[in-house]
Amino acid sequence: MESHLPQTAQVQISHKRSQLKSRTGCIQCKNRKVKCDEAPGSCGACIKRRTRCSLRPPTPPVSSPRPQIAGTVPVSNLLDLELLHNFSTKTCLTLTSHAPLQEFYQTTFISEALRADYLLHCLLGLSAFHLAQQHREMLDVVDEQQKSTVRSKVGEYLVAAHTHHNAGLSTFRQTLTSITPENCHALFASSILIAGTSFALPWDGGMLLSEPVSNSYTTQDSVSTIPEWLLMLRGIRIILTEARRDWIEAGPMSPILKSREYESYGKNIGQVDEDTAVYLDSLCAYFVQYSDPHVCDACITAIELLRKSFAGIAGGCDPSVVFFWPAQVSADFLTVLEGNTPEALLVLASFCMLMDTLSWCWLFQGWSPNMLKAIEGMLDTKWKQWLSWPLQVVIKNGARQLKGPILAVIEGKCCS
């Protein structure tokens, strides 16, 4: 059938219909029901109207990915920035009262953390626990309407704390299999933060005593019932031994070691408080009379070591002398403690009296009474009577605060 229209009209109509068949124009032109030239990147109509064209590809986020070790969690959100800010402005000031060392933690220490993912995770984890504690304290002063918000923030910080702590600890353990002059600095710094975090964990229902924990300073997933905080403190010394102290003294973490005036500790030995001395003497006498000889020897040796820290505090030593005992106590005593032997638990209760002198620091607030309560629950009536003096000392001390660094004296060079 022939068309009655002129040939030129047929061509024009056909050409017009071919334009209407396009379905790939931009959304903006379709909404305005106008022709889109479908120019790549942005059509002419959108350019003319200065509107964003749907044909324009999304702008990829600018990022400079950091190399990640298997098993780590990326550090890349606003919460992490908040944690880093809190560490640099608040948490670092609780690690020491020595101004130059505080500045070191605010600058060099953070710079080194940015070079090693596991150290950065340990830093952010400790800061998150600190923020959680700060918000817990807010619950006592805010009104009922605000408490729900504050509790939500506490939960958020605790999730971040455990996430970063576990990520840092995992890679830390992997790196421990090969300590070198290059990685020993980050390992040493991480061990200090992990030790501090191990004291923060009980606030969140973590292990104080008796629950099995992985030993972070072994290459295998070994399990121990020795308190995690004790293993962590002893681990700092292990790293110094295996890494060689001179490696660390020659590196960026040297201020931590050089700030310890070890020689002065030996000159400042004081007299142990008379009541405490009588208690320790009586405890030793009881062990001699009623305990197994091996248990007796291990516990009395531990008590004699404990006297040095008591004497150091009495003589005005740096409060970090408190950690001389857990860093140096014998392996025999740890074996006895691992079996939850009553004698060893009572020696640990005596250590709680020393730890209570650090209750000024958020990491240790409430630690001694919580530990004594845990010990009390593991003793029968025969042994519980020996807890009366440690409990009395801790209650008497109350909120007594001593100013000074919290880091451990890790090499046994003090009070010798």
User: How many residues appear in the chain?
Assistant: 416
What ranges in 50-183 are assigned the alpha helix state H? 78-86, 92-94, 99-106, 108-113, 117-138, 144-175
What is the reported pLDDT for 73? Answer: 53
Q: Is the pLDDT of residue 65 over 50?
A: no
**pLDDT tens-digit readout, 135-147:** 998 988 888 889 9
Q: Is the pLDDT of residue 128 over 90?
A: yes
What is the reported pLDDT for 270? Answer: 62
- Beta-bridged to residue 213, according to DSSP, are 224
| Other CB atoms within 10 A of residue 350 CB | 23
What is the reported pLDDT for 79? Answer: 93
Average pLDDT over residues 329-350: 92
**pLDDT tens-digit readout, 146-156:** 999 999 999 99
What ranges in 271-341 are assigned the alpha helix state H? 274-290, 293-314, 324-328, 331-338
CA distance 42 to 29: 11
Q: Is the pLDDT of residue 36 over 50?
A: yes
Helix (H) or strand (E) holding 351: helix 342-355
Instruction: Count CA within 13 A, CB hemisphere, residue 48.
Output: 8
| Burial tier of 403 (Cβ tally within 10 Å: 0-12, 13-18, 19+) | exposed
> 44-58, 65-79, 298-312: which has the highest mean pLDDT?
298-312
**pLDDT tens-digit readout, 151-198:** 999 999 999 999 999 999 999 988 988 889 999 999 999 988 988 888
**pLDDT tens-digit readout, 310-331:** 888 887 766 777 888 888 899 8
Average pLDDT over residues 5-34: 56
Q: Which domains does the chain have, with CATH numbers?
A: 19-54 (4.10.240), 78-259 (no CATH), 265-397 (no CATH)
- Residue 18's identity, in one-letter code, is S
Q: CA triplet 369, 190, 345: central angle to 5 degrees?
A: 30
Average pLDDT, the chain: 77
Name the pLDDT band for 74 (thresholds 50, 70, 90): low
Question: Which bin fits 361, alpha (ψ -120 to 50), beta or left (φ > 0)?
Answer: beta
**For 273, which DSSP code?**
P
Average pLDDT over residues 123-131: 95
Among 301, 356, 349, 347, residue whose Cα is nearest residue 328: 301
What is the reported pLDDT for 294? Answer: 96
Tokens 């939500």 correspond to 152
